[in-house]
């Protein structure tokens, strides 16, 4: 397993997808559907790259268990995109 490190730069709860920017400044998408909560924008995460149906995607190394109220994103249809 080859773990990589990155920062969550976008979260789309409607589309159930997020984006991580890795140390090489590459954007890699990940699915929110298999997580127990949503990571916050700016969160540092560890992940590995796996082949998905539409190409390479990030697979987070562990399930995130975040307080839904703290994230403020659960069931709101909110789309958050970093200005980076």
Query: What residues does each domain of the chain span?
Result: 4-81
**Predicted structure pTM score:** 0.67
- From first to last of its 84 residues, the chain has per-residue pLDDT tens of 678 999 999 999 888 899 999 999 999 999 888 777 777 899 998 899 888 888 888 888 654 434 333 444 333 333 333 333
Q: What pLDDT is recorded for position 62?
A: 55
Give the fold, CATH level 3, of 4-81. OB fold (Dihydrolipoamide Acetyltransferase, E2P) (2.40.50)
- pLDDT at residue 1, as a whole number: 62
Q: Which runs of E-coded beta strand occur in 1-84?
A: 4-12, 17-22, 27-31, 44-52, 55-60, 79-81
């Amino acid at each position: 397993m080859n773990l990589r490190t990155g920062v969550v730069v976008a979260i789309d709860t409607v589309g159930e997808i997020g984006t991580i920017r890795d140390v090489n400044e590459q954007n890699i998408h990940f699915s929110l559907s298999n997580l127990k909560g949503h990571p916050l924008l700016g969160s540092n995460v560890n992940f590995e790259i796996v082949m998905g149906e539409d190409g390479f995607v990030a697979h987070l190394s562990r399930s995130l268990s975040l307080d839904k109220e703290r994230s403020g994103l659960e069931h709101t249809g909110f789309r958050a995109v970093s200005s980076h």
